[in-house]
Every structure is written in C-alpha cells, then in structure tokens.
Amino acid sequence: MTLIKSISGIRGTIGGQVGENLTPIDAVKFASAYGIWLKQQRNKENFRVVVGRDARISGEMIQNLVMNTLVGLGIHVIDLGLSTTPTVEVAVPMEHADGGIILTASHNPKQWNALKLLNAKGEFLNGEEGAKILAIAETDTMQFADVDNLGKITKNQAYIDLHIDEVLKMPLVNKKAIEDANFKVVVDGVNSTGGIAIPLLLERLGVQTVKLYCEPNGEFPHNPEPLKEHLGDLSKAVTKAHADLGIVVDPDVDRLAFMDEKGDMFGEEYTLVACADYVLSKTPGNTVSNMSSTRALRDITLKHGGNYEASAVGEVNVVELMKKNKAIIGGEGNGGIIYPELHYGRDALVGVALFLSLLAEKQMKTSELRATYPNYFMSKKKIELTPTLDVDAILKAMEERYQNEKLTTIDGVKIDFSNSWVHLRKSNTEPIIRIYTEAPSQNEADKLADKVISEIKAIANI
C-alpha cells in the first residue's frame, strides 16, 4: 500500500502501517501541519477553514479526524459534509475563509483517500507551499490551542445549491436554449457526490434526467476513472433511454466526460475542446492545457484567433500559466474544465452548463457536434513502479534516445513528432509512470505507446 506526498496533496490507502498509508495518525499529522502553516500566513486571531468530502467509505472518518485536528489548533471549521471539490473551492472565498480541505482521492479506487489543500482563494497550493507543509509535518514541535481557545465546527450543507446558483449566473450559460432543447440525459454519478450535484444542476436547467449510480454511498460500481473501458453500463443506459447524451464524473466531480446518443464516448479529451470552442466563439482569447492533453485544443484556439500554451501536468501548473497568459478558459485533457469567470479550479458543473449551452445553440446531436472537431486519437498507458526502478534514469535514457526530436522536459519527457507525440512522466497521484501518446489513428497511438513501453522495459531490464 502507499502514501504519496505531492503537489496534488497527501494521498494514500486506508489502513495499514503508519507513515506508509493514510492512517488516522497520518491524517492528523498532515491536517496539523496544514493548520500550522495557515496560521503562519497571517497575524490574526480567528482562522476559518472550509472542509468537504466525496462519498467514499472512509470519508466520514477522515473528515472527523481532520476537522477536530483543526479545532485543536484553534481554527474554526465550516463543515460542508458531502460536497464536491469545485464546491469547496467556490465556498472558500464566499465564506471569507483562510483555506479549505477536500477529502477525496479523486479517480482512485475506494481504498484510497486524500487531503487536497486550498489557499484563501480556494485554489490549490503551489509546490513551495506544499513543501513547507510537508516539512512542518516532520517536526515534533507542533503547538496546539489551550482549552479556552479551541475552534468550533459549523455545518453548512447549502453550498452545492449555492455553487449551482453561481454556475447559472455565468453570462454564457444559455438556460433558455437548454430548456427549449428538451434534453434527456443519463447521469453516472459513480455512487459519489456527483450523483447529488449533477442531477440538481440539470433539474435547474430544465433537463430530463435518468440517474445511474447516483446513490452517494461510496460503493463505486466500476473503476471511478471516467474512461471508455469503465462505462459500458452508461452506454447501455443511454441507448435504452433514447437519451440525447450521457454524463459521467469522477467521485469528487472535477472531471467530466460525455457520451453521445449512440452510446459512444465523446472523448474525455474533447470535453475541454468543446467547452473552449463555445467560450472562444463568444469571447475570443487564449487557452492553456497541460502537456498530456490533445492538440485539438490548440487547433480550436488558433481557429478563433487565440494563443495556446501547454503547462506541466497538475492543476496548479495549468492555473499558474492561465494567469500568466490571461487565458479565458483552460484545463486538463482528463475532462477538467477551468473557467476563471467563476473560479480557478476544475469544475464539472461549469463544464456541463457550457457544453449543454453549446449543444442547444448548435441544435445538433451530440455525435454531430463531435464530428465538427479535429480527429486525434490517444493512448493512455502506465507502468507500475517498484522500489528498484530509477525513474529519473529511465527518463534521461529516453531523452538521449530521442535527442534529435523536439523535446520538452519541464515535466518528465515529451517527444513531439511531425504528426504524433508521446509524454512520459511519473504520476503525482499513483506509483506509476504514465505513457500518453497521440496520433492520427487509434492504431498508431497504441503502437507508439507499446513501442515506448518496450523501450522503457529494455532500459530498466523488466
């Protein structure tokens, strides 16, 4: 089992050995470190932190540990209970809080959980801030509040509704067109909080909703990563219901993928492409995605007269480059939409509202809309890491092997060929090397990935 400390937060499997897994002691230690770091940021008396969780089985236990640790530091807690990552991000500035914590391991299976840490803007901490918290966690000099200065916990379970209010206020959300389109949609909420939030949003938009796995009990009915190979039940449900499309989110509702009326994937990479196409058609400007995302976003951005830039993988890196380049929309190819009009965070609710606005205005079927975009095909594979594998040496060897090609090394190694690319990097969230490729056909993308995997195995003698 594993405990991973990275730019994406503190993530691990529940149970097992302290320091090697996300045990109660580890949850308290890292929540303490975060609270102490937060108090170092400002000289004031009252500190407030927003805390919410997805529906995974360990969530209530971890949340209670985290909240009461903050109380022990003299920090007041706003408890959102079952929530979504973007909802907590929206709630932090609305509450004028000093930070936020989301208890979720995102797309990881049910045995995982994590502490995702936010600043006072409701945005993820950067690498430098994360490093300071990790350093504090390793000290034995943490100071807690005395009995007269303990924090208090206040429950507020209205924030999913408040989040939806903010989404519907966005000028580009065409509520009337969506209502007039009389959409019928199947929602796969993977038995987490997307099963609460997405149907509520669709109801407010006048969309007929068929619920699939929308009971927030944390018993994921399939692998919770919203990829084609995990969504056979959604495909069947869409065609059986004669729906206009299917919607699937990950457990914390920051990733979003669509399925067309035929039960075929729209493509998680094309969630951002379609939403950007809509936004850029109304408000031209620049875009950003990470290095592992499709070239189609670049093509759409250029079509609308904007400038496209690619960042290192990780939401905080995308946001940093978006701010620098004044991008009006951005995100990650895994189905993460970042629309600064509302906030700088991946938000499936924002993505649903923008996508349905586009589909309603175009008066097209979902499959017809997909056919209007450039066709690229991706392969996303991985190699499990073992303690003996030297990832840095492997990446360096691959860099040398392809030194005559266009290389980018700000995040692993990306090799750009004339009509394809491959990106190799160590994951921030799992003990794996990710191998992403893109090419003009699925066969070419798969072949390129398999070729690179065989080269890595030869280098590593595995």
Same domain, 435 and 321: no
Per-residue model confidence as pLDDT tens digits over 56-68: 999 999 999 999 9
Same domain, 109 and 190: no
Per-residue model confidence as pLDDT tens digits over 81-121: 999 999 999 999 999 999 999 999 999 999 999 999 999 99
Per-residue model confidence as pLDDT tens digits over 176-218: 999 999 999 999 999 999 999 999 999 999 999 999 999 999 9
Q: Which of 58, 106, 292, 357 is catalytic?
A: 106
Q: What is the mean pLDDT of the chain?
A: 95
Q: Among 128, 157, 186, identify where a domain stops.
A: 157
Amino acid symbol at 251: P
Same domain, 152 and 167: no
Per-residue model confidence as pLDDT tens digits over 387-432: 788 888 999 999 999 999 999 999 999 999 989 999 999 887 777 8
Q: What is the pLDDT of residue 391?
A: 87
Structural domain tally of the chain? 3
Same domain, 37 and 74: yes
Contact 198, 173 (CB under 8 A): no
Integer angstrom CA distances of residue 328 from 121, 288, 337, 346, 369: 18, 9, 11, 13, 22
Q: What is the pLDDT of residue 386?
A: 80
Q: Among 370, 400, 423, identify where a domain stops.
A: 370
Per-residue model confidence as pLDDT tens digits over 249-305: 999 999 999 999 999 999 999 999 999 999 999 999 999 999 999 999 999 999 999
Q: What is the mean pLDDT of residues 140-159?
A: 96
106 catalytic? Reply is: yes
Q: What is the pLDDT of residue 7?
A: 61
Q: What is the pLDDT of residue 388?
A: 80
Residue 8, pLDDT > 70, answer: no
Indicate which CATH number applies to the domain containing 354: 3.40.120.10
Q: What is the mean pLDDT of residues 140-164?
A: 96
Q: What is the pLDDT of residue 140?
A: 84
Same domain, 171 and 103: no
Q: Among 125, 157, 189, identify where a domain stops.
A: 157
Domain that holds residue 449: 377-460
Q: What is the pLDDT of residue 462?
A: 72
Q: Which two tokens stand for residue 130?
A: 């994360």
Alpha carbons 17 and 1: distance in angstroms, whole number? 9
Alpha carbons 431 and 365: distance in angstroms, whole number? 40
Same domain, 306 and 209: yes
Same domain, 151 and 166: no
Q: How confident is the model at residue 46 (pLDDT cuts 50, 70, 90)?
A: very high
Same domain, 321 and 237: yes
Same domain, 173 and 232: yes
Per-residue model confidence as pLDDT tens digits over 439-461: 999 999 999 999 999 999 999 88
Same domain, 138 and 166: no
Q: By mean pLDDT, which of 8-17, 170-179, 218-227, 335-344 is the weakest? A: 8-17
Q: Which two tokens stand for residue 302?
A: 């250029």
Same domain, 125 and 76: yes
Is pTM beyond 0.85 here?
yes
Q: How many residues does the chain have?
A: 462
Per-residue model confidence as pLDDT tens digits over 348-386: 999 999 999 999 999 999 999 999 999 999 998 998 888
Same domain, 132 and 271: no
